[in-house]
Structures are given as C-alpha cells and as structure tokens.
Amino acid sequence: GAGVSQSPRYKVAKRGQDVALRCDPISGHVSLFWYQQALGQGPEFLTYFQNEAQLDKSGLPSDRFFAERPEGSVSTLKIQRTQQEDSAVYLCASSLGLGTDTQYFGPGTRLTVL
Amino acid sequence: DAKTTQPPSMDCAEGRAANLPCNHSTISGNEYVYWYRQIHSQGPQYIIHGLKNNETNEMASLIITEDRKSSTLILPHATLRDTAVYYCIVRVGGYSTLTFGKGTMLLVSP
C-alpha cells in the first residue's frame, strides 16, 4: 500500500524566500509529525497534529516556521524568510492512532538555502 | 525521555548476526525501548519495540536485560541492505514524539 509521501523531494531556496513543504500521510492515520534532520544528526521533533489539531509545536525553532493540517489529512510545513541554518531534511511521519502507535516516515524533503 | 548511549559505528560480515547494543540506564518503568533504522537518503523505518520482555518479529529480535538498563537489537543474518544508521529510543508510554540520538552506523560488508 501507499506509504507517507512528501513533496518536493528537493528544494533549493535563496535566503529570504518562503518555502512550503507538503506531506501526504498514510490514508486514515490520525497523527502526523514533522521532524527536522541536520546533516549527520538524528531527526529532531518539530510539531505534532492529531487530526487537524496541532497539539504540540514545542519543537518549532522560530516563529518563521508554521505548520497546518486543515482537513486532518495533508499537512504543509511553511518556512518564511528562509535562513541558511534552515538547510536540513524535513521528515514527515504518520501513525494510525493517537500518537503512541508506530510512526511511519516519508522519504523527506531536502531543503538547501543558499 | 531517558537518554540512550550507542556506539557510533559497527561492522558486520554479510550472513552473520549483527548485535547492536544500547544503554539506557535511567529508563523509567513506563518507558518503552524502540528501534528504528535509517538507510541513506530514506526516512527512518520502524524495526521493533518492547517494554520488558524480549520481542521478535520478521526483521529482528530485541533483548532487554532484566533490570531494563540496556538492550540489544539482533539482526540474525545481516545482508548488505541492512547497512544503515540504527537508532535506539526510549519513549514514554502514552507520549507521542520520538527523541533520536546519533545512533549506530552499521556497515555490512561482503
């Protein structure tokens, strides 16, 4: 069956540009997570949705980062006025239940800010 | 969440068992041990998890010591496709996020 998909797979942005990264979770999965992975590091939590409700955004590094999941399925992570330190792989994961189930990850979007 | 300690890298010959250790000496009673792996340029992939009993699935076995302060992930017959970074994570039951460390880079060689 279809797994978690993310688009685009690669994004190059000039410093100061806004970007939008999309995540399509596994159909029917209630929970959705965003993680950021810097080069050579493990993924770090950004934010968590349960259906359309954003229950935890404690990992978002600044107010330039914004995530939404308006209809409880597809999610978008938006980064405004990108900076070089935003360069990373952004991973999306979904799980069937209320967050404690196994998380299934997408392939990630590699963002490079020049 | 409790912290974990893993060796930064390990080598294994193809066809042999790979035994990946993890120390989690400050684990609490309600924290599970999870293992994920990440093959180059892919997202992390769930392998197995357990609370205190040993667990086995089609991918691997998880051995947790009786005091729960350490665990070992066993890949019984490693293949070249098992080359990846393996993450050991302790996760509070009922809490959502995964806290990844740097993991162990397992290199399986012919």
Task: State pLDDT tens for residues B50-88.
Answer: 999 899 999 999 999 999 999 999 999 999 999 999 999
pLDDT at B2: 56
Q: Which of A38, A25, A6, A105 is nearest to A73 (CA)?
A: A25
Q: Which of B27, B32, B58 is nearest to B45 (CA)?
A: B58
DSSP B47: E
pLDDT at B30: 85
The CA distance from B41 to B28, in Å, is: 33
Residue among B42, B46, B100 minimizing CB distance to A107? B42
The CA distance from B1 to B8, in Å, is: 20
Contact A102 B46 (CB under 8 A): yes
Residue among B43, B49, B102 minimizing CB distance to A91? B43
Q: Which of A82, A98, A73 is nearest to A36 (CA)?
A: A82
Average pLDDT of chain B to the nearest whole number:
93
Mean pLDDT by 10 residues, chain A (114 residues): 91 98 96 94 94 94 97 97 97 84 93 97
pLDDT at A91: 98
pLDDT at B29: 87
Q: Which residues of B touch A59 (CB under 8 A)?
A: 97
pLDDT at B94: 65
Contact A106 B43 (CB under 8 A): yes
Q: Which residues of B touch A41 (CB under 8 A)?
A: 102
Q: Which residues of B touch A100 (CB under 8 A)?
A: 93-96
Contact B43 A100 (CB under 8 A): no
Pick the range with the lowest mean pLDDT from A87-96, B3-12, B64-73, B96-105: B96-105
The CA distance from B93 to B50, in Å, is: 11
Secondary structure (3-state) at B80: helix
Contact A105 B44 (CB under 8 A): yes
